[in-house]
Amino acid sequence: MKSAMKPHPTPGRASEQLTKEDCLEMFRQLYLARYFDVRLIKEKKRGRLRGTLYSSHNQEAIIVGSIFGLRPTDWISPVHRDMPMFFMKDMRAGWRNPDRMGMSIEEVCAQVWCKSGSPGRARDNWSHIGSLEKRIIHSTSMLAGTIPVAAGVVLADRLNGGDAVVLTFNGEGSTAQGIFHEAINYAAIHKLPVITVVENNQWAYGTPVQLEVPTEDVADRAKGYGIPGYIADGQDVFDVYDKVMEAVEYARSGKGPSIVECKTFRAYGHGDHDDDRAAKYRDPHEVEEGRLRDPLAICRRRLIEKSYLTADDAIRFMAEGKSSSEATTEDFPPEVVAYLDEGIRFALASPEPPAEEGGMWVFKESE
């Protein structure tokens, strides 16, 4: 796997500045992202959930590694496969800290369960939530559609004297949208701090990457805009962190946008409705190989190398390589399970929104 930054010099190793506590927290967050996925699939199979699940299994290092180093004031724009990102933003400030700049697990679970406790009051589905207060751009179905919005957000921030950057997340298939070009082109001309993270999981629904993108690396697109295009190993949380932090530094210092391509592999079907068909349209060997480098295992190895984990502690929880049906709660740290339990309890108790809300908030009413 190529790991070069083009056309700029080799990125720094920001991850070397991370403390032991930071590294252990990242490890824990990987478990949390994995457990969110495992648990929701279980809940769906138990019939407690409706709506489609877009699994982020095997892509957690991108979620954790790219947002871990952001400042609370920075913005993110997650997409369908990044559901854990909504509650993981600014998680370093304390998982249960109500003032941190991310959603609570309760809010996110209420959204998943289609309840009024959702930040969007269950008006739109799955990842289509956001928060002005927490600086999370509200996603829609329109792929790549929030990149220009992100550019506008940081434009306004700059005009207001701020130094925030914005991270937008997109699948590699979504880079084929015309709006992807329009937005990055504009951001590059105006040197806006817009970082386009591309999660290249090799598949866009039932279509392989070769039929979506004409070049080997999506990061090559950057050349056409004269901006940096970084490539990260999307299975390695520290490599993602390094490349994204390089892009963040670059953006914050006023140099402008960049693209960070994270190479990864989609573990399951496009959504859970597609699992059976995906088993037919994807070669089982390709799937096996694509899931070989579990981000949990890679992070664990790093932590052992750094002596941040003892051999005994390292094997206490072993969720890696396990599908949702194979993994049990014993495979996850108890604080991870407890955190999600709280979210789900809240979601189940939260009422459905009242019918009349369907007719509300079309316009701002004048006071």
Partner 1 sequence: MSAAAKAPESLKKNYLTALREALDEEFGANPDALCMGEDIGILGGAFGVTEGLQSKYGKDRVIDMPISEAAIIGAAVGAAMNGKTVVAEMQFIDFISCGFDQIVNMMATYYYRTAGEVNMPVVVRGPAGAYGGGALYHSQMNEAWFCHSPGLRVVCPSTPYDAKGLLKASMRDGNPVIFYEIKELYRQREIEEELPASDYIVPLGQAAVRREGSDVTLVTYGNNVYHCLKAADALAERGVSGEVIDLRTLVPLDETTIFKSLAKTNHVVVVNEAPRTCGFAGEVVARICDSAFDLLDAPPVRVTRLDTPVPWAKPLESFVLPSTEKIVDAALRVVRF
Interface contacts to ligand TPP, rule CB under 6 A: 81, 141-143, 171-174, 199, 201, 203-205, 266, 270
Whether residue 198 contacts residue 262, with contact meaning beta carbons closer than 8 Å, is answered with yes
Of the candidates 61, 28, 57, 107, the residue with the CA atom closest to the CA atom of residue 334: 28
Residue type, 203: W
Amino acid of residue 360: M
- Put the strands of the sheet holding 166-171 in their side by side order: 5-6, 229-233, 258-263, 194-200, 166-171, 75-77
Longest Cα pair distance anywhere in the chain, in angstroms? 64
Residue 310 binds partner 1, judged by CB under 8 A = no
Residues 148 and 186 sit within 8 Å (Cβ to Cβ): yes
Q: How many CB atoms lie within 10 A of CB 191?
A: 14
Nearer to partner 1, 40 or 122 (CB): 122
Choose between 176 and 314: whose C-beta lies nearer to partner 1.
176
Taken as a whole, the chain contains a residue count of 367
Residues 154-193 that bind Mg ion (CB under 5 A): 171-173
Using CB under 8 A, count the residues that bind partner 1.
Answer: 38
Judged by beta carbon, residue 18 or residue 232, the one nearer Mg ion is 232
- Residue 13's CB is within 10 A of a number of other CB atoms, namely 14
Q: At what angle do helices 60-67 and 295-305 cross, to 10 degrees?
A: 50
Contact 71, 57 (CB under 8 A): no
Q: Which amino acid is at 204?
A: A
To partner 1, the closest distance from the beta carbon of 192 in angstroms equals 23
Q: Does 278 bind Mg ion (CB under 5 A)?
A: no
Q: How far is the CB of 362 from partner 1 (least distance, A)?
A: 5
CB of 258 to ligand TPP, least distance (A): 19
Q: Which does 211 bind (CB under 5 to 8 A by kind): Mg ion, partner 1, ligand TPP, none?
A: partner 1
- Alpha-carbon Rg for the chain, nearest whole angstrom, is 20
State in angstroms the smallest separation of the CB of 295 from Mg ion. 16
| Residue 204 near Mg ion by CB under 5 A | yes
Residue with the shortest CB distance to Mg ion: 171
The contact mask relative to partner 1 for 345-364 (x = CB under 8 A, - = no) is -------xxxxxxxx--x--
Q: Which residues, 51 to 80, sit near partner 1 by CB under 8 A? A: 51
Q: In what helix (H) or strand (E) does residue 231 lie, and over which residues does it extend?
A: strand 229-233
User: Restricting to residues 191-230, which ones interact with partner 1 according to CB under 8 A?
Assistant: 204-208, 211-213
Q: How do 166-171 and 75-77 pair as beta strands?
A: parallel
Can residue 201 be called a binding residue for Mg ion (CB under 5 A)? Answer: yes
> Which among ligand TPP, Mg ion, partner 1, none contacts residue 81 (Cβ within 5 to 8 A by kind)?
ligand TPP
Instruction: Spell out the residues 6+ positions from residue 290 whose beta carbon is closer than 8 angstroms to its own.
Output: 58, 202, 265, 266, 267
Q: Which does 48 bind (CB under 5 to 8 A by kind): ligand TPP, partner 1, Mg ion, none?
A: none
Applying CB under 5 A, does 257 fall inside the site for Mg ion?
no
Among 24, 155, 176, 318, binds partner 1 (CB under 8 A): 176
Residues that bind Mg ion (CB under 5 A): 171-173, 201, 204
Residues that bind partner 1 (CB under 8 A): 50-51, 114, 121-125, 128, 140-143, 173-174, 176-179, 204-208, 211-213, 277, 281, 352-359, 362
